[in-house]
Homo-oligomer: A and B are copies of this chain.
Amino acid sequence: MKKFVNDPKQFVPEMLKGIALANPDTITYVPEYNLIMRADAPNNDKVSIIQGSGSGHEPAHVMVVGPGMLDAACPGDVFAAPPSDYVYQTAKLLASDKGVLLLVNNYTGDKMAFEMAQELAEADGIKAATLFINDDVAVQDSLYTVGRRGVAGNFFVMKAVGAKAEEGAELEEVVRVGELVNSVTRTMGIALTACTPPAKGAPLFDLGDDEIEVGVGIHGEPGRRRAKMVGADEIVDELLGAVVPDLPYRPGDRVALMINGLGGTPISELYLLFGIAAQKLADMGITVARSYVGEYCTSLEMAGASLTLVKLDDEIETLLAAPASVVARIF
A residues bordering B, Cβ < 8 Å? Answer: 2-6, 11, 14-15, 17-23, 55-56, 58-59, 63, 192-193, 209-210, 212, 229, 231-233, 235, 263-276, 278-279, 288, 291, 293-295, 298, 300-301, 303, 305, 328-331
Given contacts A21-B279, A274-B22, contact A63 B15 (CB under 8 A): no
Contact B267 A59 (CB under 8 A): yes
* Chain B CB within 10 Å, residue with most, of A19, A193, A268, A305: A268
Contact A273 B2 (CB under 8 A): no
For the complex, give the distance between the alpha carbons of A192 and B196 in Å.
14
For the complex, give the distance between the alpha carbons of A210 and B3 in Å.
10
Given contacts A58-B268, A329-B330, contact A278 B5 (CB under 8 A): no
For the complex, give the distance between the alpha carbons of A235 and B5 in Å.
10
Chain B minimum-CB-distance residue to A192: B2
Given contacts A275-B14, A301-B303, contact A266 B264 (CB under 8 A): yes
Given A22-B293, A23-B291, 7 more contacts at CB 8 Å? A2-B209, A4-B305, A18-B274, A22-B274, A264-B301, A266-B300, A329-B331
For the complex, give the distance between the alpha carbons of A272 and B330 in Å.
19
- What are some 24 contacts across the A-B interface (CB < 8 A)? A2-B193, A3-B192, A3-B269, A4-B272, A5-B232, A6-B231, A6-B233, A11-B268, A15-B271, A18-B271, A18-B275, A21-B274, A22-B271, A22-B274, A22-B275, A58-B271, A263-B266, A264-B264, A264-B266, A264-B301, A264-B303, A267-B298, A267-B328, A329-B331
For the complex, give the distance between the alpha carbons of A6 and B212 in Å.
16
For the complex, give the distance between the alpha carbons of A301 and B272 in Å.
14
Given contacts A2-B229, A235-B4, contact A22 B268 (CB under 8 A): no
Q: In the complex, what's the smallest C-beta–C-beta distance from A295 to chain B, in angstroms?
A: 7
Residues in B whose Cβ lies below 8 Å from that of A21: 274-275, 278-279, 288, 291
For the complex, give the distance between the alpha carbons of A248 and B59 in Å.
34
Residues in B whose Cβ lies below 8 Å from that of A22: 271, 274-275, 278, 291, 293
For the complex, give the distance between the alpha carbons of A6 and B268 in Å.
13
Q: In the complex, what's the smallest C-beta–C-beta distance from A312 to chain B, in angstroms?
A: 16
Task: Point out the residue from B56, B232, B279 that lies within 8 Å of A4, measured CB to CB.
Answer: B232
Contact A272 B2 (CB under 8 A): no
* Chain B CB within 10 Å, residue with most, of A3, A17, A55: A3
For the complex, give the distance between the alpha carbons of A149 and B159 in Å.
40
Given contacts A275-B14, A288-B21, A301-B303, contact A232 B6 (CB under 8 A): yes
For the complex, give the distance between the alpha carbons of A22 and B292 in Å.
8
For the complex, give the distance between the alpha carbons of A328 and B303 in Å.
19
Residues in B whose Cβ lies below 8 Å from that of A192: 2-4
For the complex, give the distance between the alpha carbons of A23 and B294 in Å.
14
Q: In the complex, what's the smallest C-beta–C-beta distance from A252 to chain B, in angstroms?
A: 19
For the complex, give the distance between the alpha carbons of A221 and B113 in Å.
48
Contact A265 B18 (CB under 8 A): no
Residues in B whose Cβ lies below 8 Å from that of A288: 21
Task: Point out the residue from B18, B58, B235, B329 that lies within 8 Å of A329, measured CB to CB.
Answer: B329
Contact A17 B300 (CB under 8 A): no
